[in-house]
Structure 1
Amino acid sequence: MRTKAKRAGIACAISILIAGAAIGAPRDVPTGDGMYANIKTTRGEITVRLEFQKTPMTVCNFVGLAEGTLAAAGGKPFYDGLAFHRVIADFMIQGGDPAGNGSGGPGYKFPDEFDPGLRHDGPGVLSMANAGPGTNGSQFFITHKATPWLDDKHTVFGRVVQGQEVVDAVKQGDKIEKITIVREGAAAKAFKADQASFDAYLKDSGGAAAAKAKARKDADLATIAAKYPQALKTASGMRYLILKKGTGAKPVAGKTVSVNYKGMFLSGETFDASDLHGGPIDFQAGAGRIIPGWEEAVLDMQVGEKRLVVLPPELAYGERGAGGVIPPNAFLVFEMELVKIK
């Protein structure tokens, strides 16, 4: 009986060790060609395949910080010893902040680098944390599940190939003990992650981003010209059509006005309307509390007037967009009716 009990105890101990090893033991990095990051954490190891060909600037930044080859790292591995400062169950784990509270970074920001083939489409997606468009630094996150609402808002630059169970086990405050970059194949071995390479990617991205933005703006202006050929244009770049003439007074700066409105994208899709909020909204005209295009339009309207206005991004929500609803650099269309002046 003692022998059987002893054997059972040994078997149980071995089972526990094996179960523990499934999470905590060192892992073999995949041998297929590519670039990999082995992230050794308090809970075990996570291996991520890095998309260095689709998102070279972002991978250059991550690898350069991890290996200490970017100037911001000061010649030392930037990530080693940092905590996963933000962990949300059934969502993601976030790390890479030297401040440890979500406010820190490497001392610079760089643009987004979206690829249509890289989506937040499942668990194990490695993506950049940011505070808005073009504010990438050192913080990154790894998903627990698909998070499609983050597509084209956060740069996906890798995916877990081993250790998703470790991702799922990480708790807030757990540490990144060490990140090791492994290069397999000629292309990965030729990929450089030094300061000169990162600076070159930044320069190229600026030109590419400018060209892309211009192409989008030209397309939007062509759409506006086709949909609203009779629209008048002001010096600021706002276009408008008077849908119904008013008969009352025009407001002056400082007066409170009541306005009915419907906000639409160029596609015609409605994103907001005063009807959804119980009727017209009140605000003080000329006080700078609303978007510039609205200020300009309402101060030029008579009570009872209804007009359609087309606002360029600089008169609406600009480069940042708004509330996850208005994308960056969006032209917006509003139907506005000046109901009364209080």
Structure 2
Amino acid sequence: MKLISKPIHLLALVLLMSSSSCQDKYPNLDDGLYAEFVTNKGNMIAKLEFEKVPVTVANFVALAEGNHPMVKDEYKGKKYFDSLTFHRVMDQFMIQGGDPTGTGSGDPGYRFEDEFHPDLRHSKPGILSMANGGASTNGSQFFITEVPYPSLDAYDQQGNLKDCDNPRVSCHAVFGELVVGLEIQDSISNVATGPGNRPIEPVIIEHVNIIRKGSAAKNFNAPKVFEEELPKIREKQEAIREEARLKAEEEQKAIDAKNAEAALTQKPILDGYLSKASTLASGLKVHYITKGTGAKPKTGDNVTVNYEGYFTDGRLFDSNVQAVEERHGKFNQQKIERQMYSPMPMQISPDARMIAGFKEAAASLKVGDKAFFYMPSHLAYGEQGAPPLIAPNSDIIFILEMVAITE
């Protein structure tokens, strides 16, 4: 017995070292559940949101570890992602993998419902999300973003769930984000590609290893979670949707209250400008707040402008100036992410896709000019308005600043 006890002990030690080596490889990771993508271009690690979207994460983890209860027989007991490729690569967009056929049409033998969470968005590089062919067609394919891509979000800026059943609406379930290896994602995004955005030289996912840090992650039983929680997705999504709706309502009330408070100060200023304004032939009223000394753009020139849009009672409805929106309680983090708090590009042209009053106002300015413009409804959004923001037949006000003429 003693002759075999040592080999058994050594075998146990080797197995222990093998299973824990990946855990020890990244000692600086916080508690959580992670996926390590070992590729022929380098390694990436994604933190998985198993508490917010447990079914989607359980699906990915069970596939990676080879114990998914619903895969086709040919994949049972196999680590599904190992030796697959990133079969679709698009610079300034994303890299896509998880298809055993490498064609974009392969699947693991099942589909499952969408599981969205309003906190999880395609708001930065490195977002890990489910690829799909429409509503609730999730399987094994996933993608990792290279840049923010909010059009893929299931929720709009107000926290409302989009019409994801509409085939023309893109909704993808975010379930993690890269915490290590963004530069690897970037390098993969930039490989040479051929037809169908397929890399000319294969980008191989050699292994996907699951790393568990902390008791919650270690107790996450992916096959069990997938089977038990899958039937509850629809009910949970309804609860999340209602919670998001109520939260959005409360946030909007707070915004409206702060905007109304700021309007008490803003309206006398706007009224003062209006009292000094000249009326142009079109009906547009203008008062120069600051006179610039720069050149006046010609028709066809591309320019950048700062703008503040107000209702006649002094409430702000939109601006690309962060300080202005903050003052009126309308600061929007997504505008930061989309770089929308910066001078807006436009072309000085009667054919520009803007309201008539804005086009006329911008065309009248020199670089450095900052002016108040009162726009009667026929120069603004007219009888149609711009629901739900601008009511029909509404006069509006813009303060415009001509920043630069660009090439």
- Give distance in 2, aligned partners of 1:98 and 1:110: 18
Match of 1:197 in 2: 225
Range with bigger deviation, 145-154 or 64-73: 64-73
| Equivalent residues in 2 for 1:111-126, closer than 5 Å | 111-126=113-128
Query: Alpha carbons of 1:212 and 1:85: their partners in 2 closer, same or farther (altered >3 Å)?
Result: same
Indicate yes or no: 2:105 matched with 1:103: yes
What CA distance in whole angstroms lies between the structure 1 residues aligned with 2:141 and 2:181?
20
Q: After superposition, what is the alpha-carbon deviation per residue over 1:11-36, rounded to whole angstroms, capped at 9, x for unaligned?
A: xxxxxxxxxxxxxxx96364310001
What is the CA distance between 1:207 and its match in structure 2? 3.8
Q: CA deviation at 1:99?
A: 1.2
> Considering only aligned residues, what root-mean-square deviation do their CA atoms show, in Å?
2.3
Q: Which residue of 2 aligns with 1:80?
A: 82
**Amino acid of the structure 2 residue aligned with 1:59:** V
Counterpart contact for 1:27–1:45, Cα < 8 Å: no
Partners in 1 of 2:241 and 2:148 — Cα distance?
29
Quick one: which of 150, 153, 157 aligns to 2:152? 150
Task: Say yes or no: does 1:188 pair with 2:217.
Answer: yes
Identity of aligned residues (%): 49
CA pair 93-29 structure 1, distance change in 2 beyond 3 A: farther
Contact 2:94-2:145 within 8 A present in 1 as well: yes
Contact 2:54 2:225 (8 Å CA) reproduced? no
Q: Cα 1:45–1:162, aligned 2, differ >3 Å: closer, same or farther?
A: same
The structural deviation recorded for 1:137 is 0.4
Question: Residues of 2 paired with 1:29 and 1:116: CA distance?
Answer: 30
Alpha-carbon distance in structure 2 between the residues aligned to 1:177 and 1:29: 22
Distance 1:89 1:185, change over 3 A: same
What is aligned with 2:59? Answer: 61
Q: How does 1:253-264 map to 2 (within 5 A)?
A: none
Determine the structure 1 residue equivalent to 2:187: 169
The whole-number CA distance in structure 2 between the counterparts of 1:115 and 1:210 is 11
Q: What is the 5 A alignment of 1:315-334? A: none
- Following the alignment from structure 1 to structure 2, what is the Cα–Cα distance between the partners of residues 48 and 212? 24
TM (normalized to structure 2)?
Answer: 0.44
User: What residue number does 2:143 align with?
Assistant: 141
| Kept in 1: contact 2:44–2:178 (CA 8 A) | yes
Runs of 4+ in 1 over 6 A off after TM superposition: 210-215
Q: How has the CA–CA distance of structure 1 residues 67 and 149 changed in structure 2, closer, same or farther, with 3 Å as cutoff? A: same
Amino acid at match of 1:62: F
Distance in 1, Cα, partners of 2:90 & 2:147: 11
**Aligned residue among 47, 55, 58 for 1:49:** 47
1:29–1:165 CA distance, 2 compared to 1 (3 A): farther
Q: In 2, distance between residues paired with 1:38 and 1:210?
A: 32
Inter-partner Cα distance in structure 2 for 1:204 and 1:103: 27
The residue identity in structure 2 corresponding to 1:166 is I
Alpha-carbon contact 2:117-2:240 (below 8 Å) kept:
no
**Paired residues of 2:36 and 2:45 also in contact (CA < 8 A):** yes
**How many angstroms does 1:177 deviate by?**
0.1
* Amino acid aligned to 1:131: G
Per-residue deviation, 1:209: 4.9
Deviation at 1:208, TM superposition (A): 3.6
Show the counterpart of 2:248: none
Contact 1:97 1:138 in 2 (8 A): yes
2-side partners of 1:135 and 1:53: how far apart? 22
